[in-house]
Chains A and B, each alone.
Chain A
């Protein structure tokens, strides 16, 4: 099956610093990747849709200058949380699309971010 990895699995940083999270599709090419945020015991909230070689499409209410997304290749997308604050602490999950619109997504294991 399709495998998606995320790195790091958890990160602790000081307020004001930037944190980069990588999402890689290991055994297939992903033209589309998605970034989600999940609070404890809640559902996934889509932050943005990332298409290889073009600008990400952000969901309403998500600050694009705060959450920088780069999808430079068919196997790698990165999310950078800039000038992180304690309220940015959350579980961030990426997924890669398997093909056409609305098809199965393959999820990474998630990254737990704690901002002190």
Chain B
């Protein structure tokens, strides 16, 4: 399977703490994206990092990409209860239109 692996599968933290999620993938990519999904809803795009980029920031989000290790991480700083959701990485494979989604991390932020 081409599907990426994410860890941890589930993460439970307190408000104000940082949350780090990791994603590993298997093949050459054009870019890697992170999405968020609230329970029973569609996905919301968070950030896209291209294969020639190493780090990207957007508000409280920081994404890193290491193409030599075929891995990425998403850091959410100063987490809030509203950040509770599932987070998925998705890789855009070179030469393909489609995205391949990772297994996801379920984040629970307690007040």
Residues of A within 8 A of B (CB): 4, 6, 32, 34, 41-44, 46, 49, 91, 93, 95, 97, 101-110, 112
Interface SS of chain A: helix, strand, loop or mixed? strand
Let me know if A43 and B103 touch, CB within 8 A: yes
Q: How far apart sit A112 and B41, CA to CA, in the bound complex (Å)? A: 10
Given the complex, which residues of A lie within 8 Å of B42, measured CB to CB? 4, 6, 93, 95, 107-110
Q: Least Cβ distance of B32 to chain A in Å?
A: 10
Let me know if B40 and A102 touch, CB within 8 A: no
Q: Least Cβ distance of B21 to chain A in Å?
A: 13
B95 at the interface (CB under 8 A from A): yes
Contact A110/B45 with A41-B106, A43-B104 known, Cβ cut-off 8 Å? no
Q: How far apart sit A101 and B98, CA to CA, in the bound complex (Å)? A: 7
Residues of B within 8 A of A (CB): 3, 30-31, 33, 35, 40-45, 48, 88, 92-93, 95-104, 106
Q: Least Cβ distance of B26 to chain A in Å?
A: 15
Given the complex, which residues of B lie within 8 Å of A112, measured CB to CB? 40
Can you list 6 A-B contacts (CB < 8 A)?
A43-B3, A43-B88, A46-B99, A97-B97, A104-B45, A104-B48
Which among A46, A105, A108, A110 has the greatest number of chain B C-beta atoms within 10 A? A105
Let me know if A109 and B97 touch, CB within 8 A: no
Q: How far apart sit A41 and B106, CA to CA, in the bound complex (Å)? A: 9
Q: How far apart sit A106 and B33, CA to CA, in the bound complex (Å)? A: 12
Q: Least Cβ distance of A40 to chain B in Å?
A: 10
